[in-house]
Amino acid sequence: MEVTITDLSPCRKQLRIEIDAETVNAKFDNVAKEFRRHAHLPGFRPGKAPLANVMRAHADKIGEEAKRALMSDSYSEALKDNNLKPVIMPEVEELQFGHGKPFQYLATLEVSPAFELPEYSGLEVEKERRTVTDADINKALDTLREQRVSYADVDRPAGEDDFIVVNFTGTIDDKPITDFVKVARGLTEQKNYWLHKTQNPLIPGIVEELGGAAKGDKKTVTVPIPDGFIYEELIGKEAKYDIEVVQVKEKTLPELDDAFAKGFGADSIDKLREGVENDLKNELDYSLKKSIRNQCVDKLLDAVTCDLPETIVNETTRIGVHNIVQQNHNRGVGKEIIEENKDRIYANAKADAEVRVKANYILAQIAEKEGIKVTEQELSRQVAALAAQQKVKPQKLAQQLKDNGGIYQVREEILNAKVIDLLEEKAKVTEVDPKPEAEHAHSHEHGEDCDHEHSH
């Protein structure tokens, strides 16, 4: 057998495979002998007909079976000899086949990327010196108070922290704002709309103009649309709002007392405070652990440069786009807004897919080197956990995952988590002072994408 490999791209290869005529004839003979055992030819008992007669009588079927067997054996051998790991079924083009001739065909396939595995033991990572403070606890309690907030109508001018309930119409150049952005209905007209300077400003500058307004007041406010506004088409234009104040609402937060604590299932405010502190400590431990795991994967991602199979990236991107659209849909975002942002959604999903696919290959190679595997028990346990989350029977979910191929993703997620366990265990951790909050907000989470200790 002769194999010639042409690189169409780093992860796409074309194999030209040729099998000599002698091997082809031998395979024809073997297949024909198998056919003869069951063939019924006039004048001969089963299994006793001459081979030439059998080959003439069943030429097409024998040829197809011989071709299938030759292709299967030669393709497997070519992959093994050249250390190729295909990621999809090959596209096959037959060049020549027949009894007495060499068998020639082309197999075009995408393969896993080849790269040098970086040193993964002793990755240098940082852990912030952070503890739960009284300020953290008070902030969390304030969040609980916000869940029990009440609003009272007041007959006085609006103060700094009040909500102002309004009816309004918005125009630009005396035209409805929807003339400029079709989906901006919420900016064009609303009835009984609650405005607040920080929580719901509509367009920055409007609420400031309503300071001191009272129920029944009517006001026309003109504000410039600022940089960074959600609808880029409106930036720099002036919006005019005709506003009628329907009501001023005063916000009241409950006192932090035992009665408040009982509303959250605690016996006293001290017990509630203790419970909040424990929750915050658990969240901090999880956050610090997650950061270390993310850093481990990011270090490996930075250390490896390789091309990725287009088919796998495209499929992962497709799933990513579906998930983003679904999440936005669940949050009540309209189809029109999703359609408007489809290019950005695709770009984000593709960037995430490339990181995810690359990390999966790196982690899989470490797993292979370390002999890390996923047991059937671990797989069953994970499926049961997913089933409990989705409130379905484990057997039903297991069957669905097998039918749609999702079981491979679950297995991959478990394997990745086990590899990252190893990376975390062997990492060299240095304690550092906490970074400013702004930096935390922009930190990478690529590693966690691969960790999958939470479900999708």
pLDDT given at position 183: 85
Q: Are residues 243 and 294 in the same domain?
A: no
More confident residue, 338 or 21: 21
Q: Are residues 286 and 395 in the same domain?
A: yes
The predicted model gives 115-119 an average pLDDT of 96
Q: Are residues 100 and 14 in the same domain?
A: yes
Q: Are residues 285 and 428 in the same domain?
A: yes
Task: Provide the Cα torsion 422, 314, 116, 293; round to 10°.
Answer: -20
pTM score above 0.75: no
**Is 367 within a domain?**
yes
Whichever domain contains 205, its CATH number is 3.10.50.40
Q: Are residues 271 and 224 in the same domain?
A: no
Residues 297 and 364: their CA atoms lie apart, in Å, by 12
What share of the chain has pLDDT > 70, as a percent? 94
Q: Are residues 418 and 278 in the same domain?
A: yes
More confident residue, 19 or 208: 19
Give me the chain's average pLDDT, please.
91
Q: Are residues 93 and 158 in the same domain?
A: no
**Is 105 within a domain?**
yes
**For 235-273, what is each residue's pLDDT tens digit?**
999 999 999 999 999 999 999 999 999 999 999 999 999
**Is 121 within a domain?**
no
pLDDT given at position 53: 79
Six-digit token pair at 241?
A: 């709002």
- Which of 90, 110, 130 represents a domain boundary (last residue)? 110
Q: Are residues 282 and 383 in the same domain?
A: yes
**Is 332 within a domain?**
no
- Which of 210, 228, 252 represents a domain boundary (last residue)? 252
**For 145-183, what is each residue's pLDDT tens digit?**
999 999 999 999 999 889 999 999 999 999 999 999 988
More confident residue, 333 or 246: 246
**For 2-18, what is each residue's pLDDT tens digit?**
999 999 999 999 999 99
Count how many domains the chain has: 3
- The yes-or-no verdict on residue 376 having pLDDT over 60 is yes
Task: Provide the Cα torsion 198, 199, 205, 208; round to 10°.
Answer: -70
Whichever domain contains 293, its CATH number is 1.10.3120
Task: Provide the Cα torsion 184, 188, 194, 196; round to 10°.
Answer: 80
**Is 427 within a domain?**
yes
- The yes-or-no verdict on residue 329 having pLDDT over 90 is no
- Neighbouring C-alpha atoms within 13 Å toward the C-beta of 343: 1
pLDDT given at position 440: 53
Q: Are residues 245 and 273 in the same domain?
A: no
Six-digit token pair at 210?
A: 């309503």
Residues 81 and 79: their CA atoms lie apart, in Å, by 6
Residues 159 and 197: their CA atoms lie apart, in Å, by 11
Q: Are residues 77 and 164 in the same domain?
A: no
H/E element holding 164? strand 163-172
- Helices within 304-341 (DSSP H only): 310-330, 335-340
pLDDT given at position 435: 81
The predicted model gives 347-372 an average pLDDT of 96
- The yes-or-no verdict on residue 192 having pLDDT over 90 is yes
The predicted model gives 193-200 an average pLDDT of 87
- The yes-or-no verdict on residue 455 having pLDDT over 50 is no
Q: Are residues 419 and 291 in the same domain?
A: yes
pLDDT given at position 450: 44
Note whether 257 and 171 are within 8 A (CB): no
**Is 440 within a domain?**
yes
More confident residue, 443 or 257: 257
Strand partners, 215: none
Q: Are residues 91 and 190 in the same domain?
A: no
What share of the chain has pLDDT > 90, as a percent? 78
**Is 232 within a domain?**
yes
**Is 128 within a domain?**
no
The predicted model gives 187-195 an average pLDDT of 95
- Which of 110, 139, 171 represents a domain boundary (last residue)? 110
Question: Which residue range forms the structural domain that includes residue 391?
Answer: 267-303+347-451
pLDDT given at position 456: 30
Whichever domain contains 14, its CATH number is 3.30.70.1050
- The yes-or-no verdict on residue 419 having pLDDT over 60 is yes
- The yes-or-no verdict on residue 452 having pLDDT over 50 is no
Q: How far is CA 20 from the centre of its chain?
A: 48
- Neighbouring C-alpha atoms within 13 Å toward the C-beta of 112: 18
**For 202-217, what is each residue's pLDDT tens digit?**
888 899 899 899 999 9
More confident residue, 446 or 146: 146
**For 68-77, what is each residue's pLDDT tens digit?**
999 999 999 9
